[in-house]
Amino acid sequence: MKKKVLKISFQGALGSYSHQASTKFFKDPVVVPCESFEEAIETVRKGKADKAILPVDNSTYGRVADIHSLLPASKLFITAEYFLPVDICMLGPRSSSLKTITTATSHPVLLGQCNEFLKKNNIKPISGYDTAGSARLISEENDKFKGALASKIAAQIYGLKVLRANIQDNKNNTTRFLLMEKKPKKLIGQQKKVITSILFQVRNIPAALYKAMGGFATNNVNMIKLESYMLGGSFEATQFFADIEGHPEDMSLKRALEELQYFTNKLEIIGVYKKSKFRQKYS
């Protein structure tokens, strides 16, 4: 029987960190580069890819705002998480050197993670659409005075030279990715070291959020992430995204979710997945 080829969609050009994460997490996937996060999600929804790999948090920069705003409406289900140590490289054309480079183009998030290096080398940051796209642009321009901040895989793909590797200010710089796909017919079974991700909207009553959170405390359930979003441009309607330790069928989490439901207009489980081994090292 012919083995099915796994197709993974991501935002960015070939050589992006999302591309790198997909090849690290999966063995020999077919990658589907997309212009936007929306397109990466829609590619899965239309069945043109099996899963999307999406960055949600960076240990230096914080949350990826675009993704967090898209999660509620994605209609996809989180089935895994992956942590990628980010090695940012200063790339340039073959004719360049670190002494010739005067500008560095990259995604603003990456530029912000290399402030010390850029200042020390008197290199002006230039905002680009994404990391790999910036590397491709620099390759096409082939100007020894122009460089890009991107990955080693981008240097290989676009024929650039790595002028300096590991230039990020924070040497422990790491990005967390979520793997999203159409909701599986069967969730992973009850086991230790599981994360449940939920969306909920609190009712418009005094101290609703405080009361909603109380059930997690009384049932000894650890909430490891909580994000809020304004709905429909209103300052009154708020939706929350949360990552919680435990499986929905664990009695303690089950009771906490039942209490939460009493104070909410909407409660939806959008992910159940194993904790990454990277996270487990610090548990």
Domain boundaries of the chain, sorted by first residue:
7-84+175-181, 89-164, 194-280
Tell whether the model's pLDDT for residue 89 goes beyond 90: yes
Q: How confident is the model at residue 270 (pLDDT cuts 50, 70, 90)?
A: very high
CB 264 within 8 A of CB 258: no
Of 26, 77, 177, 263, catalytic: 177
Mean per-residue pLDDT, 88-103: 97
Q: Would you tell me the crossing angle of helices 251-262 and 208-218 to the nearest 10 degrees?
A: 160
Instruction: Examine the residue annotation and report whether 200 is marked as an active-site residue of this protein.
Output: no
Tell whether the model's pLDDT for residue 282 goes beyond 90: no
CA atoms within a 13 Å half-sphere pointing along the CA-CB vector of 113 = 27
- CB burial of 11-37 (b: ≥16 within 10 Å; e: otherwise) equals bbbbbbbbbbbbeebbeebebbbbeeb
* pLDDT value of residue 229: 76
* pLDDT tens track for 232-261: 666 666 788 999 999 999 999 999 999 998
Tell whether the model's pLDDT for residue 225 goes beyond 80: yes
In CATH terms, are 7-84+175-181 and 89-164 the same topology?
A: yes
Q: How far apart are CA 160 and CA 151, in angstroms?
A: 11
Q: How far apart are CA 145 and CA 123, in angstroms?
A: 10
Report the percent of the chain where pLDDT is more than 90: 65
In angstroms, how far is the first alpha carbon of the chain from the final one?
A: 41
Tell whether the model's pLDDT for residue 231 goes beyond 70: no
Supply the DSSP symbol for 119.
H
Tokens 């796994």 found at: 6
221 alpha carbon, distance to own chain's centre: 24
Mean pLDDT, the chain, whole residue set: 90
* pLDDT value of residue 204: 72
CA atoms within a 13 Å half-sphere pointing along the CA-CB vector of 26 = 19
Q: Which residue has the higher pLDDT, 144 or 211?
A: 144
CB 272 within 8 A of CB 196: yes
Number of other CB atoms surrounding residue 154 within 10 Å = 30
* pLDDT tens track for 117-144: 999 999 999 998 789 999 999 999 999 9
Burial of 103 per CB tally in 10 Å (0-12, 13-18, 19+): middle
Domain 7-84+175-181 grouped into CATH 3.40.190.10:
yes
Mean per-residue pLDDT, 149-157: 94
Tell whether the model's pLDDT for residue 34 goes beyond 60: yes
Q: How confident is the model at residue 281 (pLDDT cuts 50, 70, 90)?
A: low
Q: How confident is the model at residue 280 (pLDDT cuts 50, 70, 90)?
A: low
Mean per-residue pLDDT, 149-170: 95
Tell whether the model's pLDDT for residue 78 goes beyond 90: yes
* pLDDT value of residue 154: 95
Of 175, 200, 240, 264, catalytic: 175
Q: Which of 138-152, 155-169, 257-271 has the lowest mean pLDDT?
A: 257-271
Q: Which residue has the higher pLDDT, 66 or 106?
A: 106
Q: How far apart are CA 157 and CA 188, in angstroms?
A: 37
Q: Which residue has the higher pLDDT, 276 or 203?
A: 276
Pick the CATH number of 194-280 from 1.10.3720.10, 3.30.70.260, 3.40.50.10420, 3.40.50.620: 3.30.70.260
CB 98 within 8 A of CB 163: yes
Q: How far apart are CA 79 and CA 215, in angstroms?
A: 25
Pick the CATH number of 89-164 from 3.40.50.1820, 1.10.10.60, 3.40.190.10, 3.20.20.370: 3.40.190.10
* pLDDT value of residue 233: 60
Mean per-residue pLDDT, 153-161: 95
Return the beta strands (E) in 107-157 as ranges.
124-127, 146-150
Compute the radius of gyration of the chain from its Cα atoms: 21
Instruction: Examine the residue annotation and report whether 175 is marked as an active-site residue of this protein.
Output: yes
